[in-house]
Amino acid sequence: MIDLHCHMLPGIDDGAPDLETALAMAQAAIDDGIKVTACTPHIYPGLFDNTIEDIEAAVAAFRQELDRAGLPLEVTHAADIQITPELVDGLRTRRLPTFNGGRYFLFEPPHHIAPPGLLNLVHSVLAAGYVPIVTHPERLSYVDSYYDEFRRAVDMGAWMQITGGAVTGRFGNRVQAVAQRFLGDGLVHLLASDGHNLKKRRPVLSEARVAAAEWVGEEESWRLVRDRPRAILDDIPPEQVAPPEVAPPASAQQASKGFFARLLS
């Protein structure tokens, strides 16, 4: 498996606070069957003012520590980029990192305030040749009233990443119900751990893949954690990548009968 959203770099944001924790997170990922992890610290002006140079230096140092510890985890990097009006310029000038310098990047909406002009920004980013990967929309406080906006963003060409723990219920029934709705509607391109620590936000994916398979089937569940993440790292044009399954399998259709009950619980 490939995890493209993880806050494993030590001491750079609200993820691993130190090297000991970062190495333990790497071991947890390896034990779970993850072969590649993208270290994606926040870039959030005024809160986490990380630069691409900071991130690249931290990843290079972390690779050396992984080698020294004998941990066979391949690490790459991007960033969890908070959306700003200067986003397109930051991507064009390479001040903001994409995956392997390609077209795909993580696009983080604010958690508690619905962003005005989201679809206009998505259009601008796509027109500039980039593919935004909207991170963890299922966990946003306004997602119920903004669901159709995210659907339209995907229709325009944005990709969507759901948190593994959301699918397994680690963020509660309501978030789980929204994650399952996104999956059932064929809007999810990949699962990622968004791992931050070794407790509630572990850098693991296997349990989530199994849970997702109940909604989208076994083959599509592997696309969520292996095939599409690999396509992102290889910068494959999105039109050459299998789209998410639109129609859920019969098992998911049966499970969806309880969707609204869980949503309101």
Interval 51-102: pLDDT, tens = 999 999 999 999 999 999 999 999 999 999 998 888 999 999 999 999 999 9
Instruction: Tell me the one-letter amino acid at 135.
Output: T
149-174: average pLDDT:
97
pLDDT in tens, 198-220: 998 999 999 999 999 999 999 99
Judge whether 161 and 190 are in contact, CB under 8 Å.
yes
In whole angstroms, give the CA distance from residue 106 to residue 34: 19
Judge whether 187 and 153 are in contact, CB under 8 Å.
no
Helix H or strand E encompassing 76: strand 74-77
pLDDT in tens, 104-114: 999 999 999 99
Vertex 170, ends 167 and 175: CA angle to 5°?
A: 60
Q: What is the pTM of this model?
A: 0.92
Name the fold adopted by 2-263.
Answer: TIM Barrel (3.20.20)
Residue 255, pLDDT > 70, answer no
Residue 134, pLDDT > 60, answer yes
